[in-house]
Structure 1
Amino acid sequence: MKSAISAMDDMDRALVHALQLAPRASWERLGPVLGARPDTLARRWERLTEAGEAWISGIGLRTGGRPPHMAWVEVICAAGTSPAVADTLVDDAHALAVEHSTGGRDLMVFVAVPDLHALYRYLSFRVQRVPGVVSTRSSVVTAVHYAPDRWRLDQLTPAQTDRLTGRTGRTRRPPGGPASPAPLAGASMSEEERPLVLALAADARRSVASLAREFEMSESTVRRRLARLEAGHSLRFSSALASGLSGWPVAATVWAEVPEYEVADCAAAAAGLRETRTCMSVSGRWNFMISARLRTVEDLSRYTADLSRRLPGLRITDSAVSLHVRKSEAQELDHHGRRIRTVPPDIWAEPAPDASGVV
């Protein structure tokens, strides 16, 4: 059983921050930046990952020439059934995130599927048939302006950050933004590359040698394919620290209405706030959605006030606090935000296997 007491220190947090900037950097490269021996860093990382306190996952969702279809699904459950419903949905490859939420929904589920018909099948013949589900409401993601893998801790100094990223003071951005829109075009993932990418979901630092052995490829082939997918934004890495240890334990979501001609400006301004974790355009009742990490629940009102002050064209329409993040980016989490296990995000699998004969 994992202890509720962590031995995490500032060096551990600095290590996680460094791996957010350079997820597959060697210990030899990280050592001089962090002022520690490579073997010491390796032992620290092994301790953190074994305790579920930190991890790096690889997510690759693009096949063909188009990105996947993604949606936020609000789930209303019968009284007392939301834990069981969440247990069921956490097991689904298509549900990349599952949260118990406040407000007019019991659960928030982030779904990724290959196409709109698969989304229809998953919602109609999977989610809506889970015992305890009363109704659902979906918002399809139409643009990702700021992705969750860009959110950073703030443990490293600017000089350390520059050494890892190669940026200079002129191009440096503060942790959390602002940033250019997340790219939606790039190298597609072939059918034969999908198992390789899925193997990185639990541990994106797996060595090229181990991947080559598992998939019976040469190391040069594995290295070349991973480099191509990463450069083309078909494979992204996410380095995470358990929320209860990060200093930012509260997850919140804000919905808003933004004039279409102001979306780009609003996204850039929202990304400039330290707390912002994701920023998306969505369909549905409202067209703008922001998720944030906060230090306390009380900070939500200050955060929304900052948004309103910086974005005169934005009208906040709803907000919610996550009571328990059960799953994030394909990782099942405990109530402290520590990783329990990985659910491989095989979004290309049949989304409703029990709906035989349904087209």
Structure 2
Amino acid sequence: MQDFGGLDDVDSSLVHALQISPRASWARIAKVLGLDAVTLARRWNRLTEQGAAWISCYPGLALAVSGHGCLAFIEVDCANGRLLEVADRLTRQPMVSTVEHVTGDRDLLLTVMATDLATLSRWSTTVLGALPGVTARQIHLAGAIYAEGSRWRLRSLSPAQITRLAADQPPRGHRPGPLTLTDLDRRIIVELSADGRAPYTALAERCGASVDTVRRRTRRLLDEGAVHARCEIARPLSKRPVAAVLWAGVPADTVEQAAHSIAGMSDIRLCAGITGRHNLLIIAWVRSVDDIQRLETRVTERVPGIVISDRAVALWPMKLSGHLLDEHGYRLGTVPIDGWNMQRDKAPGSG
């Protein structure tokens, strides 16, 4: 996968277009880009087959706000020589959306999505805590999410093209009424996490419902912020191949103001309020390891008084929003995100 030749101008424009509108039709994208729809579809197939780009889809904060889930970041320490074994088992867990091998005082950083705190507690003790090779774990609950990866852009399109593609996108998190989930909604969310651009006909077949019903429910989930779709690319192709993780603290009465200021920075992939010894978690894609210090300088200039007390570099993003990646960041496959499925760990070969 690492031999992929890179993104040319058409590929870059296509990826940027899908970052703005991940489920837009090829005809619509072709009209904005001034290209042929068949050519764009063929280009996209090439990118996905090479693991260079893909559409992910994951539960949105609107679910947690409505009482349908919770999000946690978990630091995991592993026994010597057991890291790859532990990581492999964790990537197979449907509640674990992201697994990263990172530097610093922890071996792995997980993003875990559960239906509620009780389920998270049960999973962390009976599954994660019982996993052979896990020596310690530290759980940070996420509060407000001020920036997340679906807002990150490749910056290949003109302002006019961006405006045209974004014209019919609903306001993020728009909710005309109370957010409720049906069993069909849950099945759709799980299926979309495997392929965020799956056609409605395929979703209908997999979910056991009519195409019209699935189309209506899917659009509602996206419009209300119950799920977020985003176009990802292999990190080496982003021109920002290094993922930096910062744990920071600000006075409690300034968290929201500080977080919004940080979220406005172009390199930021995640800015979340968290519980624990820090109250902000920041993840950014930067050009090099040296650039991490420059990132910290920019953050402290924007938020005077912020204390960055720990930092790490993601050496290998093994799983990202449900998609399995090789050591170079190219997609290998998927384990659908399913916060309703507290799968017990099974040793290899145990059936």
Q: TM-score, normalised by structure 1?
A: 0.90
Which residue among 279, 282, 297 is the counterpart of 2:289? 297
**What secondary structure does 2:193 align onto?**
coil
Indicate if the aligned counterparts of 2:6 and 2:237 stay in contact, CA closer than 8 A.
no
d(CA) in 1 for partners of 2:205 and 2:108?
A: 40
Q: Once the 2 structures are TM-superposed, how far is the Cα of residue 217 of structure 1 from its aligned partner?
A: 2.6
Which residue among 227, 231, 234 is the counterpart of 1:235? 227
d(CA) in 1 for partners of 2:311 and 2:345?
A: 34
Q: Once the 2 structures are TM-superposed, how far is the Cα of residue 181 of structure 1 from its aligned partner?
A: 9.4
Which residue among 168, 172, 180 is the counterpart of 1:188? 180
Letter in 1 for 2:310: D
d(CA) in 2 for partners of 1:91 and 1:154?
A: 33
Report the equivalent of 2:127: 126
> Over residues 185-205 of structure 1, what are the superposed CA-to-partner deviations in whole Å (9 max), with x where a residue is unaligned?
962321222112211222222
Report the equivalent of 1:135: 136
> Over residues 259-311 of structure 1, what are the superposed CA-to-partner deviations in whole Å (9 max), with x where a residue is unaligned?
12111111111012111111111011111111111111110000001101110
Q: Once the 2 structures are TM-superposed, how far is the Cα of residue 183 of structure 1 from its aligned partner?
A: 7.9
Report the equivalent of 2:46: 47
Which residue among 300, 303, 313 is the counterpart of 1:321? 313
The question of 1:206 aligning with 2:198 is answered yes
User: Root-mean-square deviation (CA), in Å?
Assistant: 2.1
Q: Once the 2 structures are TM-superposed, how far is the Cα of residue 14 of structure 1 from its aligned partner?
A: 1.2
Q: Once the 2 structures are TM-superposed, how far is the Cα of residue 223 of structure 1 from its aligned partner?
A: 1.4
Letter in 1 for 2:89: T
d(CA) in 1 for partners of 2:299 and 2:173?
A: 20
Gap change, CA 1:183 and 1:98, over 3 Å in 2: farther
Indicate if the aligned counterparts of 2:97 and 2:321 stay in contact, CA closer than 8 A.
yes
Report the equivalent of 2:12: 13
Q: TM-score, normalised by structure 2?
A: 0.92
Q: Once the 2 structures are TM-superposed, how far is the Cα of residue 333 of structure 1 from its aligned partner?
A: 0.5
Query: Once the two structures are aligned, what percentage of the paired residues are identical?
Result: 38
d(CA) in 2 for partners of 1:274 and 1:77?
A: 34
d(CA) in 2 for partners of 1:297 and 1:63?
A: 34
d(CA) in 2 for partners of 1:351 and 1:197?
A: 17
**What secondary structure does 1:129 align onto?**
coil
d(CA) in 2 for partners of 1:339 and 1:189?
A: 30
**What secondary structure does 1:199 align onto?**
helix
Indicate if the aligned counterparts of 2:267 and 2:284 stay in contact, CA closer than 8 A.
yes
Q: Once the 2 structures are TM-superposed, how far is the Cα of residue 8 of structure 1 from its aligned partner?
A: 2.8
> Over residues 171-190 of structure 1, what are the superposed CA-to-partner deviations in whole Å (9 max), with x where a residue is unaligned?
xxxxxxxxx99789962321
Gap change, CA 1:182 and 1:195, over 3 Å in 2: closer
> Over residues 46-79 of structure 1, what are the superposed CA-to-partner deviations in whole Å (9 max), with x where a residue is unaligned?
1111111101122236389314111111111112
d(CA) in 2 for partners of 1:241 and 1:353?
A: 30
Letter in 2 for 1:317: S
Indicate if the aligned counterparts of 2:95 and 2:112 stay in contact, CA closer than 8 A.
yes
For structure 2, which runs of at least 5 residues remain unmatched after alignment? 347-351
d(CA) in 1 for partners of 2:172 and 2:230?
A: 17
Q: Output aligned runs, 1:66-105, within 5 Å.
A: 66-105=67-106
d(CA) in 1 for partners of 2:174 and 2:145?
A: 8
**What secondary structure does 2:11 align onto?**
helix
d(CA) in 2 for partners of 1:252 and 1:115?
A: 29
The question of 1:265 aligning with 2:265 is answered no
Which residue among 219, 226, 233 is the counterpart of 2:218? 226
Indicate if the aligned counterparts of 2:172 and 2:224 stay in contact, CA closer than 8 A.
no
d(CA) in 2 for partners of 1:299 and 1:63?
A: 34
| Bigger shift: residues 275-284 or 121-130 | 121-130
Letter in 2 for 1:194: R
d(CA) in 1 for partners of 2:296 and 2:164?
A: 34
Report the equivalent of 2:339: 347
d(CA) in 1 for partners of 2:173 and 2:254?
A: 17
d(CA) in 2 for partners of 1:253 and 1:241?
A: 19
Report the equivalent of 1:332: 324
**What secondary structure does 2:292 align onto?**
helix
d(CA) in 1 for partners of 2:281 and 2:234?
A: 23
Letter in 1 for 2:262: A
- Aligned pair count reads 341
Indicate if the aligned counterparts of 1:64 and 1:188 stay in contact, CA closer than 8 A.
no
Gap change, CA 1:64 and 1:351, over 3 Å in 2: farther
Indicate if the aligned counterparts of 1:64 and 1:189 stay in contact, CA closer than 8 A.
no
Letter in 2 for 1:123: S
d(CA) in 2 for partners of 1:181 and 1:228?
A: 12
Q: Once the 2 structures are TM-superposed, how far is the Cα of residue 238 of structure 1 from its aligned partner?
A: 1.5
d(CA) in 1 for partners of 2:256 and 2:64?
A: 27
Gap change, CA 1:156 and 1:64, over 3 Å in 2: closer
Q: Once the 2 structures are TM-superposed, how far is the Cα of residue 3 of structure 1 from its aligned partner?
A: 5.8
The question of 1:284 aligning with 2:259 is answered no
d(CA) in 2 for partners of 1:77 and 1:152?
A: 34
d(CA) in 2 for partners of 1:188 and 1:74?
A: 32
